[in-house]
Amino acid sequence: MSRPIRLSRSVAVLALVALLAACAHAPPRNPLATWVPSPNHDIRRPVLIVVHFTNQHSAQESLDTLRTKNSGGPVSSHYLVGSDGHIYQLVSDQLRAWHGGGGHWGTITDINSASIGIELDNDGHSPFAQAQIDSLLRLLTDLTTRLHIPRTQIIGHQDFAPTRKDDPGPLFPWSQLAAAGFGLWPQGELIDPPAGFDPWMALGLVGYPLEDRAAAVRAFHNHYRGIGGDALDAQDLRILYNLAQIVERGTPLTD
């Protein structure tokens, strides 16, 4: 009779382990309230993808940093793409990674809560490897399709935080992403805007923060022209006029 008893105890232990595991993954409940669950809820739905460079010297160094901290404290991202094209995931798409920090893009003021962060293994001064960009494009295809993120909603860290950040920098091939259908990019012939065109309103309409206009122009230059400088010229006005028309025809940026 001892054998069935041992089996019964084993079954009980396994059941307890399963119950504890289920509780460990259950969302927290407020002890002040009676739990009456509703099926009417959903997971976090990001609406933006932010591209970064790591400013470090290897994928392993960046993996270590993204699982611990940098000089500013704990940091993470959803994905890291190595220079060899290998894709690592560090945080679930459904969760909030700590990759963005302060800043805003259009009306989106909490970037971490609204976005997927992708770090690229790059020292900040070198061209991006083609294998890395190819993998990034595959990842963008997956994320925009699976999470229903608009393909225009792909920006760089500097775009929404121009006073603090410069990644992914002027060497990042935004035009190559645009050729694959990702990101907001000029379409058709660039023409001179009409009289009365306000480039600052257009820059804000695209999404750029305007608290520091010189910093916003530097970010815009890195993204759309791969050049330095903090003053708008005639070509900038043509690009901004084109982009503003695209945005006005599309869906405005919202949380």
The residues assigned a catalytic role are 119
List beta partners, residue 50.
117, 155
Name beta bridge partners: 51.
Answer: 118, 156
Structure tokens at 34: 């009676």
